[in-house]
Homo-oligomer: A and B are copies of this chain.
Amino acid sequence: MEESAKDKLPRATAKRLPLYLRNLNILEAEGVIRIKSREFAEITKIPSATIRRDFSYLGELGRSGYGYDVPYLIEVFTALLEANEKKSIAIVGFGNLGRAIAKNNFRRNDNLAISCVFDNNPALVGKEITGFYVYDIRDLKRMVQEKNVSVVITTVPSENSQIVVDEIVASGVTAILNFSSDRVDIPKNVNMRYIDLTTELLTLVFFDHHYKNRPLVVTT
């Protein structure tokens, strides 16, 4: 108990935290101040037993016969996810996808902000494009420190993925969201998530054809 509870949070639970917090914020905006695990299950599509188990890792957050206090849950989850602290994000690769991500601006999460964008294309570098000044990729390390970047999103083509990831790692950033499909080598202290549209589509079609009535679990 004196060891921080979050140190033993199962990963599966951790991945659901953003989903929980988002739905709690919606509930609070609607004026709901109290929620039971069964009700929350209907909203989130997560089974109520899983919700109670997940919440229990963070302490005894609820009250028997009553449910959970929404503002209190929000307080706990917000602190845990640092959702009230500004996070500076960089994008490397400012083509169509990079620009679409930059413009997306993370509705309902004004703590996440794109602070700088990079490309290696001389036609883009030094110009202002859709509101973003495009830096040369060689400025990455300097800007990461200057803007205190927490996460880098890379959208560069697979061919350059490894070399760009190496530069990101060298800049000191340890959290990378990678839209290229090729697996790359990273030091073990670096966290990377891949989002690959082609893989998603192939997986989806495969499950659709082979797992009818046993749907694919949809967790992000």
Q: Which residues of A contact B (CB under 8 A)?
A: 6-7, 9, 11, 14-15, 17-19, 21-23, 43-45, 80-83, 87, 89, 96-97, 99-101, 103-104, 106-109, 112, 150-151, 157-158, 174-177, 181, 183, 185-186, 188-213, 215-220
Contacts and interface: CB of A to CB of B under 8 A. Distances in A.
A194 B181 contact: no
- Identify the interface centre among A112, A202, A208, A220: most chain B CB within 10 Å of its CB: A202
List of 8 A-B pairs having minimum Cβ-Cβ separation, nearest first = A100-B100, A175-B208, A18-B202, A96-B100, A18-B199, A191-B216, A45-B183, A191-B208
A78 to B, nearest CB: 11
Contacts of A186: 215
Copy count, this protein chain: 2
Given A14-B210, A82-B209, A96-B103, 6 more contacts: A82-B205, A87-B201, A109-B202, A151-B205, A193-B200, A196-B220
7 contacts: A17-B202, A96-B99, A96-B100, A109-B202, A175-B208, A177-B200, A192-B216
A185 B199 CA distance: 24
